[in-house]
Structure 1
Amino acid sequence: MVVLPEAGWRTRAGMAALIAALGGPDDARFVGGAVRDSLLGLPVSDVDVATRLRPDDVMARLKAAGIKAVPTGLAHGTVTAVTDGGPVEVTTLRRDVSTDGRHATVAFSDDWQEDASRRDFTINALYADPVTGAVFDWFGGLADLDARRVRFIGDPLTRIAEDHLRILRFFRFHARFGAGAPDAAALAACTARANDLMALSRERIAAELLKLLAADDPVPDVRVMIEQGIFVPVLPEIVDAAPLAVLVAREAAAGVAGDPVRRLSALIAPDPALARDIAARLKLSNHVAKRLATAAARHDDRPDALAYRYGPESAVDLVLLGNGPEAEARKLDAWQRPQLPLGGGTLIARGLAPGPIVARTLGRIEDRWVEAGFPDGRVLEAIVTEELSRAR
């Protein structure tokens, strides 16, 4: 029998009270990522509990136990229990009634294996007794975890037909947990059904893609995805993993955490208009869209000048996507934006007539000040004097 190792999340504040309120191990078990990651010795942040209890019963029991219950997804059986140690998602066992690749209609169940059978990968279908830690495994997830193998439960084509996003999830999970070549049956199914991605919302595609690119080293899986035409239906512009490989190496050399937005920039041709188009297509935030466009312009300047003009985040992008020394990117962690020690009022006090000329002159002074390395004293005074002479 495989048993969960001791882990802080299992005994965190409020967990025992929650399990007791749900009826103990007969009616509640840990499931999914917390079980998988604990077995791998990885840190656990999110905890999920599966239960035989119906959602209304879960709500009533939590209320009776003095535990705040938030009905976050009652139609799909999910209630969030807000414990002293943090939120825990409690979901009633389910079976699929119908699916269309984007949404599922479910019915509640009291069969643990039936609930496990509707999950995507064997390593995500592991359940654990909340008291003894004994692990329940119906589909070979433990063996796959030991082999660092990501494998669909049952027929991969069936799993993908139920939820098309599982195509991208397969590569994300392989990038994080897999070793060696991807499972052949899974890869064949993802390749055959790649066009199904077109039916998904662009927000779901973007979220999953950015999670994939956040892996320690997504390059091998991105390379396979390009070779198999996985990106073609939704992001045909992604055609070469080589720039991503260079960036991942430079991030490591700089001691800078891998960043999914920066890595997406590496996969896009250096064209700001294209970057903005892709950002709009994926419905990314304005902040991310601006960052992609700035990175795509591949501005070349001193790192501190880049940070002043575009912000430290974009400056790190530009340094690592360009040819600057990797060490300069790490220095930007502690960079603080200098303040130009004069304003329009100073220029007017020195004889410049009020009007648009003040802003233009101040802009030229600022540009020269940045180019000179943010000097003060005599160097700055010389710049100001020269620009005032030009403006009069």
Structure 2
Amino acid sequence: MVLILPAAAWRDRDGLDTLARVLGAADGDSRYVGGAVRDTLLGIDVADVDIATRLPPQEVIARLEDARIKAVPTGLTHGTITAVTPAGPIEVTTLRRDVSTDGRHAIIAYTDDWREDAARRDFTINALYADPATGKIFDYFGGLDDLAARRVRFIGDPLKRIAEDHLRILRFFRFHARFGTAIDDAGLDACTARANDLMALSRERVASEVLKLLIAANAVPVVTLMVERGIFRAVLPEIDADGAARLALLAERERAAGIAPDPIRRLAMTIASGEAEAVGARLKLSNTDRKRLMAATAGPGTEGPQALAYRVGITVATDRLLIAGETVAPIKDWTPPSFPFSGGALVERGLRKGPDVAAMLRQVETRWIAEGFPAAARVAVIADELVAGALNS
């Protein structure tokens, strides 16, 4: 039976039909592949669109340039060209087969065989292709059946696929957390047996997968399973059974508060608070994310949710309140105001320029916060009272 890709909004993106025509889709030279096909079949909104093509990279570039479509050689050594369309960038990759792999990198050769290209992909549900014109689905390894069963399954021997790229261990669990119901036992056992292979990966790659995993729909049971199977032990031993239990607690708090899952917040909850600095450094997170990771478990403070949000920002305040089990309702749709006063106004009231002004300004601000951020007229009264007291003391 021929299966046709359902209609979807992404298929009407400006410039996509032109790109497919330029790349010879009508002649069978190019097809949509991977996530766009998978997610459309699942009824999920599609973010990125990828095209696989039998055309060599240089011919792809030449055709795009002739059609006045900007071509960016983003991954030329691996056959990937980014075509910049009016609706955004689309990656175009020449069909490939692996010549050799070392668990981190692959040496590839180009091919014109669609099945060979599919065979080097990780999971059956990611190896689905669709004809741009007709929508006909091409499935070489049972991906449609696995998609119907919500099963994440390696293409071929799981141990061999993991040996080719160790990151597939984490990807197996991430995709299961996003799409899976019944887990594939062969894949699970292979990932368990080869978990120590994760040590060979760059920490940036590990971080990217873990952060995506933590916000997947079924992150809580999958993280629990990974802890039971010792998957994190080699690269993130800080994630243990207690951490998985804390993650479950946070996920429930986010759901109850109507707050979207956030990977940094969830990572902070999953590891112990004293481990944040070390984990952030090991995963090579950005400075912003490291600081947020360390601040997330600092507690809700004593001034109330809005005062906390004013002092540390909405994002960090939300982290701290949820992790502490406090309400976020007062800051959910609230924008912290700007302090409507200045040091110059204190000088006009008789204070001498210097440290006294800075100290008094902090006192005025603290009173303003404590009174619930009143208007400027009330701040002026607060300042008059405090300045008078200081000058008369």
TM above 0.5, yes or no, is: yes
Task: Return the TM-score normalized by structure 1.
Answer: 0.93
- 1:268 aligned partner, one-letter code: I
CA shift digits 1:101-138 (9 cap, x unpaired): 11111000111001000000000001111211111111
SS in 2 for 1:246: helix
Distance (whole Å) between structure 1 residues aligned to residue 267 and residue 388 of structure 2: 44
Distance (whole Å) between structure 2 residues aligned to residue 233 and residue 352 of structure 1: 60
Distance (whole Å) between structure 1 residues aligned to residue 216 and residue 265 of structure 2: 13
Distance (whole Å) between structure 1 residues aligned to residue 280 and residue 219 of structure 2: 20
CA shift digits 1:357-383 (9 cap, x unpaired): 221222233233323322455587346
SS in 2 for 1:241: helix
1:14–1:382 CA distance, 2 compared to 1 (3 A): closer
State the partner residue of 2:287.
286
Alignment partner of 1:191 is 2:192: yes
Task: Return the TM-score normalized by structure 2.
Answer: 0.93
1:105–1:375 CA distance, 2 compared to 1 (3 A): same
State the partner residue of 2:56.
54
CA shift digits 1:320-343 (9 cap, x unpaired): 1122235x1xx5243222233322
| Cα-Cα RMSD | 1.8
Which residue of the other structure, out of 71, 74, 78, is the alignment partner of 1:72?
74
Q: Percent identity?
A: 60
1:374–1:8 CA distance, 2 compared to 1 (3 A): closer
1:154–1:370 CA distance, 2 compared to 1 (3 A): same
1:340–1:140 CA distance, 2 compared to 1 (3 A): same
1:378–1:2 CA distance, 2 compared to 1 (3 A): closer
Which residue of the other structure, out of 251, 255, 259, is the alignment partner of 1:256?
259
Give matches, 1:355-370, under 5 Å: 355-370=354-369
Distance (whole Å) between structure 1 residues aligned to residue 379 and residue 116 of structure 2: 75
- 2:350 aligned partner, one-letter code: G
Contact 1:35 1:126 in 2 (8 A): yes
Which 10-residue stretch deviates more, 15-24 or 224-233? 15-24
Alignment partner of 1:11 is 2:12: yes
Distance (whole Å) between structure 2 residues aligned to residue 184 and residue 388 of structure 1: 75
Contact 2:36 2:46 in 1 (8 A): yes
Offset at residue 57 of structure 1 (A): 0.9
State the partner residue of 2:129.
127
State the partner residue of 1:242.
245
State the partner residue of 1:164.
166
Distance (whole Å) between structure 2 residues aligned to residue 155 and residue 15 of structure 1: 36
SS in 1 for 2:212: helix
SS in 2 for 1:97: strand
How many matched pairs? 386
Which 10-residue stretch deviates more, 371-380 or 280-289? 371-380
Distance (whole Å) between structure 1 residues aligned to residue 204 and residue 271 of structure 2: 18
In the alignment, structure 2 segments of 5+ residues that lack a partner are: none
1:38–1:382 CA distance, 2 compared to 1 (3 A): closer
State the partner residue of 1:340.
339
Contact 1:113 1:138 in 2 (8 A): yes
- 1:263 aligned partner, one-letter code: R
SS in 2 for 1:171: helix
Contact 2:346 2:383 in 1 (8 A): no
Distance (whole Å) between structure 2 residues aligned to residue 165 and residue 383 of structure 1: 59
Contact 2:170 2:209 in 1 (8 A): yes
1:146–1:315 CA distance, 2 compared to 1 (3 A): same
What stretches of structure 1 move > 4 A for 4+ residues in a row?
376-380
- 1:358 aligned partner, one-letter code: V
State the partner residue of 1:144.
146
Distance (whole Å) between structure 2 residues aligned to residue 85 and residue 295 of structure 1: 37
Which 10-residue stretch deviates more, 101-110 or 262-271? 262-271
SS in 2 for 1:296: coil
State the partner residue of 1:203.
204
State the partner residue of 1:23.
24
State the partner residue of 1:155.
157
1:132–1:379 CA distance, 2 compared to 1 (3 A): closer
- 1:122 aligned partner, one-letter code: T
Distance (whole Å) between structure 1 residues aligned to residue 108 and residue 126 of structure 2: 19
Distance (whole Å) between structure 2 residues aligned to residue 216 and residue 315 of structure 1: 24
State the partner residue of 1:381.
381
Contact 1:361 1:388 in 2 (8 A): no
Alignment partner of 1:275 is 2:273: no
Distance (whole Å) between structure 1 residues aligned to residue 88 and residue 343 of structure 2: 51
Distance (whole Å) between structure 2 residues aligned to residue 226 and residue 387 of structure 1: 58
- 1:78 aligned partner, one-letter code: T
State the partner residue of 2:316.
314
SS in 2 for 1:179: coil
Distance (whole Å) between structure 1 residues aligned to residue 187 and residue 390 of structure 2: 68
Contact 2:98 2:108 in 1 (8 A): yes
